[in-house]
């Protein structure tokens, strides 16, 4: 490791240790505040801390939208809005309490005042410290010098976000999505798939996991590496993969978060034809959907017996490239691409790359078959992410000439 690398590592480690000390200092300081000024003012301080949390994160996105409309860079709009709202609310509460209520306005018996003040003051300190940890995850600080609140010994940021979610969302299922997002779950084969959540620093919509430009990701399955394809369940049916507050907090990023959405081929896995066919007639219609509304899907065919160059497979983007001297298909750019095929289906079917219409070239040969013909339909989106589906084509009608 170079001297610069060691310096960065040391600075990051020191800042992370400082975070724990900061949390303890705030909690102890608020406990001392409650001991000194009594239970009543400690309660008001706690309520003020909760109000600051609700205002900062409840109105942060709305103010950020206004700042972007005023031509502030999007990368800074949300951090600025959260910071401004938090400071403004905290100051407003402080001056309002200080102006309306004096130190000795309401006092309980000395023992209750002291003990209650310490307890409630400590709870107020928990809210304040947790809010600060969450705000640090919002600020655009270089990764080497950022503080990971989720990794501190006392992770009060998570507790504060859970409190925030409980206050603004009463429905248990909706609150779970708000907090944790739509976590990858078991899904039948052929259902929607996404990647694990990552910070899309360069905005290309794909995960870049190597070199200096490596992007952070949330290792949901705990396997120590980025998982490009996981089953996904749209819990609330809104057509997008919702990102939770805790996911943002743990990734220390509240913007540029995304998952890779793979096309889902929704057309059936079988097609049974009964009418007499002619050459060039449609025998199957491929249909696919993609959660990225701006994606254009193109279709191609891959023979089930094809020999694929496994070294050319891109695991992160789900791309593939086949090698051989076979018949041309159409790739995501609309150009001819070749794949290796063997067997009798190599020239029997063709697919329109735009409509997904599969047609038969030699209708008589297809109708005379006694066993189903199998093709692999490939749907590829604009970003090069692709999904495959094996389709069985059968003819059960009258065979001409028999």
Backbone angles phi, psi at 150, to 5 degrees: -65, -20
Q: Please, are residues 316 and 293 in contact by the beta-carbon 8 Å criterion?
A: no
| pLDDT tens sequence across 41-80 | 888 888 888 898 889 888 988 998 898 888 888 778 888 9
Q: Please, are residues 354 and 330 in contact by the beta-carbon 8 Å criterion?
A: no
Domain 264-395 falls in which CATH fold? Immunoglobulin-like (2.60.40)
- Domain boundaries, given as residue ranges, for the chain: 3-168, 182-260, 264-395
**Local structure of residue 312 (DSSP, 8 states):** G
Q: Please, are residues 236 and 177 in contact by the beta-carbon 8 Å criterion?
A: yes
Highest mean pLDDT among 93-107, 281-295, 351-365: 351-365
The predicted model scores a pTM of 0.72
Cα 213 → chain centroid: 19
Q: Please, are residues 304 and 374 in contact by the beta-carbon 8 Å criterion?
A: yes
In angstroms, what CA-CA distances link 159 with 30, 97, 118, 149, 382? 17, 26, 20, 11, 40
| Angle in degrees, CA 227, 215, 249, rounded to 5 | 85
d(CA 344, CA 347): 7
d(CA 118, CA 31): 4
d(CA 216, CA 251): 7
| pLDDT tens sequence across 13-43 | 557 777 888 889 999 999 998 888 888 888 8
Considering only CA atoms, give the Rg of the chain.
30
């Amino acid at each position: 490791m170079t001297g610069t690398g060691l310096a960065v590592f040391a600075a990051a480690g020191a800042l992370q240790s400082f975070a724990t000390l900061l949390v303890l200092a705030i909690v102890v300081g608020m406990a001392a505040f409650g001991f000194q000024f009594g239970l009543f003012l400690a309660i008001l301080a706690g309520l003020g801390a909760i109000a600051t949390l609700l205002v900062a994160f409840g109105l942060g996105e709305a103010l950020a939208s206004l700042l972007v409309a005023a031509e502030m860079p999007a990368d800074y709009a949300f951090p600025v809005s959260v910071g401004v709202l938090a400071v403004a609310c905290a100051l407003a509460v402080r001056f309002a309490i200080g102006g309306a209520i004096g130190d000795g306005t309401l006092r309980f018996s000395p023992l209750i005042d002291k003990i209650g003040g310490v307890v409630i003051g400590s709870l107020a300190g928990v809210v304040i410290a947790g809010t600060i940890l969450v705000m640090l995850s919002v600020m655009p600080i270089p990764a080497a010098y950022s503080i990971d609140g989720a990794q501190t010994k006392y992770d009060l940021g998570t507790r504060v976000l859970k409190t925030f979610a409980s206050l603004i969302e009463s429905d248990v299922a909706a609150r779970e999505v708000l907090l944790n997002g739509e976590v990858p779950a078991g899904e039948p084969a052929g259902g929607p798939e996404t990647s694990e959540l990552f910070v899309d620093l360069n905005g290309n919509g794909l995960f870049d996991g190597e070199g200096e430009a490596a992007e952070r990701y949330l290792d949901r399955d705990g396997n120590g590496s980025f998982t490009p394809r996981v089953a996904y369940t749209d819990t609330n049916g809104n057509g997008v993969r919702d990102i939770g507050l805790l996911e943002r907090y743990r990734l220390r990023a509240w913007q540029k978060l995304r998952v890779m959405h793979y096309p889902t081929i929704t057309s059936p896995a079988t097609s049974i034809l009964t009418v007499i066919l002619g050459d060039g007639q449609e025998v199957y219609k491929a249909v696919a959907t993609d959660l990225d509304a701006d994606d254009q899907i193109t279709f191609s065919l891959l023979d089930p017996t094809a020999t694929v160059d496994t070294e050319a497979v891109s695991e992160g983007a789900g791309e593939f490239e086949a090698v051989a001297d076979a018949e041309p298909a159409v790739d995501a750019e609309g150009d001819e691409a070749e794949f290796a095929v063997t067997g009798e289906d190599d020239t029997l079917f063709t697919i329109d790359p735009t409509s997904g219409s599969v047609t038969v070239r030699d209708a008589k040969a297809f109708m005379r078959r006694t066993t189903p013909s199998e093709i692999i339909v490939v749907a590829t989106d604009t970003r090069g992410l692709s999904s495959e589906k094996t389709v069985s084509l059968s003819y059960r009608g009258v065979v001409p000439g028999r």
